[in-house]
Structure 1
């Protein structure tokens, strides 16, 4: 019997149950912010028609979110590891609240850019301090459960946001107030959840607490992060493509103009990412990563097929496979962090993992947006699919050559 199993056996059942409840309470804060992160997806076509901006500008608005996220990841992890989770989480939730009010009142592209920037800041806090808080309350005995909860919470929120927005946009003449009013209620519950958690404060590692540095991980853990990023990055880039240009593909190429179609597809994409993690959670990390890379590769094949056949079904299938790729890459990466990275460096490690994923997601999505303005939607989507397919194949080859992840 493993030492971890022996430790779990010595914990009273009531304490174990309390630990599991706290894990999912902490995970709810992640879900609440990720609901906001993609709630704008079904509304993009509406804003685009009202304000008259191009596909390139649309991907730039999406990239503003990633810019806010990446900028926050530069310091949120270290601040969280130094001063504790709550002093970082509360300002992140406050940024999400301000973003909601900006979305409601937006009448210009600049307002949308600022709202998305603040949404990215909130998500940057959540994927570093928020995910670390889930691992904190799980403790050593429940690292695997905590990794699963953190990963599932992210993709579940990312899926629920566009579904909620799509339903309200389809049924209400003026859905924006309803969408972000509901989001404010969800965020209020997140404030309560964070306040109820017994989150520890760790002593700063490495710099003695004197100064902030770029997020990093111990040298012995860099290969763990590299394998996670190799699969997570193509997966989240694929889902970012669906979120940013998916509505345009549905409306311009496939003739599906209902916001419920794009919102529902995004929801299915992230529900797939959620479900596949529960189904495959007991597989070895190496297998999870290989399957994640394969799913992203197949997603790109379906994307190309959808574009040239002008068919909705292959595009929906592409979205589902993209969700599976992101979900498995994310679960594999977070599991490696939970098992190998010291607890007082986990927020930083989460930041590094997400920076490694979101940077290519931003660059490729924006580049594809402007390429579609120049060459057309079909060529732009084809180039995107080819690049991401090549990266996925490279990840599979690299992980396949590595037999152990200890």
Structure 2
């Protein structure tokens, strides 16, 4: 996330003199983000297993996913502000701890309430790292290397989201005790991230005056008033794009199992891996493009992905479903890169974590509501009807957002 405005960079508190910023620390700071974001999507391939054993419906499945969104959004109302005021570490360490607790709950869950609680805690952990973690990656970079740091921060988010479901799919199919094995490995990854969080050369923010920190601690996250237009433009295309990927995460395995007649957890995990791997790769491929190009191209890819999703359910085609997942990932990757770039290029670092939290909260709010609505509609009608209506809704929203971006300078 570049910071091309010199005054915004100069407003940041001085970094600790003990360790000079370097690209090595940028990569290291991204590792905890990858580890925690892996937890965000790791349960997805196991939903079919839990659904079979516990006997819950598609609506209940999307409701469990909504607990994750609730934990995430609730955390974003406070984590960005606390991080900007007191520093990244006081937010990141508790986030890691809650991620470990969530992993333990997933490993031993035998009821819907247990799964819901685990999903809630994982949402809190992810919320901490989507605000403070992404900002920390930028913090440890040299002020002349912010664009590289932004690319690493954004790709670490989607890269972790890609690794988790693939790991879960492979381990659950090839080793005994599917959920126990998967989340024991995940807990080990989180523990390995702790020393990095503790040693990162981060700015000390505890002595910042209250006014600089932005007032109340708990509030709806936002960008500073002069930069809210950039936030809204980013959300106009990023929110529908991430809602599209949210559908794949929550109902994709059910589509594979019930509609396309395959229950392979490896295929389910590989589908989600392909989605987020595409989102990661496209960000590196598009690193030299203009921000507007990122947003418009991402919107176009999201629309194409929704067309492929509708085709998949109409023709019961696994290939079309996989294509829709990859296209949705490409759309999220480009819109996310464009939106984060706009914010970090303009927002002072003293408010950057909060602005990142605002972008993420807006995106995940839609990503929570629409898949739940689609799951409820699918139970009331058919899975095909719910999927097609969802695809049409996303197409309408992202097209409207793209037109808005196109009309703005």
**Fold-level similarity (TM above 0.5):** yes
Alignment partners' CA distance in 1, 2:216 and 2:4:
35
**Are 1:84 and 2:90 an aligned pair?**
no
| In structure 2, C-alpha distance between the alignment counterparts of 1:190 and 1:244, rounded to whole Å | 27
Match of 1:229 among 231, 235, 251: 235
With over 3 angstroms needed to count, the CA separation of the structure-2 counterparts of 1:108 and 1:208, relative to structure 1, is closer
Q: What CA RMSD, in Å, does the superposition of the two structures yield over aligned residues?
A: 1.9
Moved more, 197-206 or 48-57: 197-206
| Structure 2: distance between partners of 1:211 and 1:371 | 39
Runs (4+) off by over 4 Å: 3-6, 15-18, 207-210
1:127 to 125, 130, 141: 130
Q: Does 1:164 align with 2:170?
A: no
Aligned counterparts, 1:4-403, within 5 A: 19-202=22-205, 203=208, 206=211, 211-214=216-219, 215-403=221-409
SS in 1 for 2:22: helix
Structure 1 contact 205–345 (Cα < 8 Å) conserved = no
Q: How many Å separate the matches in 2 of 1:206 and 1:286? A: 33
Q: Which runs of 5+ in 2 are unaligned?
A: 7-17
> Relative to structure 1, is the Cα distance of residues 394 and 302 closer, same or farther in structure 2, using a 3 angstrom cutoff?
same
Which one is further off, 379-388 or 195-204? 195-204
Are the aligned partners of 2:88 and 2:202 in contact in 1 as well (CA < 8 Å)? Answer: yes
- Pick which of 292-301 and 130-139 moved more: 130-139
| Residue in 1 that maps onto 2:9 | none
Q: In 1, Cα distance between the equivalents of 2:345 and 2:171?
A: 41
Q: CA contact under 8 A between 2:84 and 2:351: conserved in structure 1? A: yes
Residues 204 and 344 in structure 1, CA contact (< 8 A), matched pair in contact too: no
CA contact (8 A) 2:21 2:201 kept: no
Render the CA deviation track for 1:344-402: whole Å, top value 9, x for unaligned: 00110011000110001100011111110001100000000000001111111111112
C-alpha distance in 2 between matches for 1:236 and 1:191 = 28
Secondary structure of the 2:144 match is: helix
CA contact (8 A) 2:158 2:280 kept: yes
Q: Any conservation in 1 of the 2:172–2:181 contact (CA below 8 Å)?
A: no
Q: Matches of 1:209 and 1:17 in 2, distance apart? A: 28
Change beyond 3 A, Cα 1:199–1:298: same
CA contact (8 A) 1:56 1:370 kept: yes
Question: How far is 1:169 from its partner?
Answer: 1.4
- Change in Cα spacing, 1:204 to 1:354, as seen in structure 2 (3 Å) is farther
Residues 71 and 16 of structure 1, relative CA distance in 2, 3 Å threshold = closer
Summarize deviations over 1:147-177 as a string: whole Å, max 9, x none: 1111100111101000000001111232212
Unpaired segments of 5 or more residues in structure 1? 7-14
1:140 is paired with a residue of what secondary structure?
A: coil
Q: CA deviation at 1:213?
A: 4.1
After superposing the two structures, state which structure 1 stretch, 204-213 or 158-167, moved more.
204-213
Q: Is the 8 A contact 2:230 2:343 kept in 1?
A: yes
Shift of 1:139: 3.7
